[in-house]
Amino acid sequence: MDYPDVDKLFLEEINNHNNLINHVSTLQQSFVIISRFGFDVNTFMHDVVKCIQKKDYETASNMISDVVYSIDKVVGQLKELSDTVKSGVSKTYAQEDSGS
């Protein structure tokens, strides 16, 4: 009879747990950025319009670029998190199929 390597299983579970904590942290950071951006949209739009009215197009352009960069960063984090969750789900199903 083959017995599973308990140490290996334990280390895999610890690793999965640590990865989960890391990804939850990443998700929370993403939601903070999204929430902050969502709440600051009116202020942001007001500041951009104010810069345009002052004919300070460089500052307005930089502000918009910063927002685009932030949104792109959040999208990247969410994509990475999604891929990791999919990978974890696939591993779980593979372990269940192999009887581990």
In this prediction, what percent of the chain has a pLDDT beyond 90?
Answer: 11
Does residue 30 sit within a domain? no
| 15 is a domain residue | no
Q: Which of 38, 31, 62 is nearest to 48 (CA)?
A: 62
Distance CA 18, CA 11 (A): 10
Q: Which residue has the tokens 């999208």?
A: 75
- Mean pLDDT, residues 42-68 taken together: 88
Asked, for residue 91, whether it belongs to a domain, the answer is no
Please indicate, yes or no, whether the overall pTM of this predicted structure exceeds 0.85.
no
Q: Residue 72: inside a domain, yes or no? A: yes
Residue 92 lies in a domain: no
Say how many domains are in the chain: 1
- Of residues 41, 35, 44, 28, the one with CA closest to residue 77: 28
Which residues span the domain enclosing 57? Answer: 40-81
Residue 59 lies in a domain: yes
pLDDT per residue as tens digits for the range 20-39: 787 777 778 777 777 776 66
CA nearest neighbour of 88 among 15, 39, 37? 15
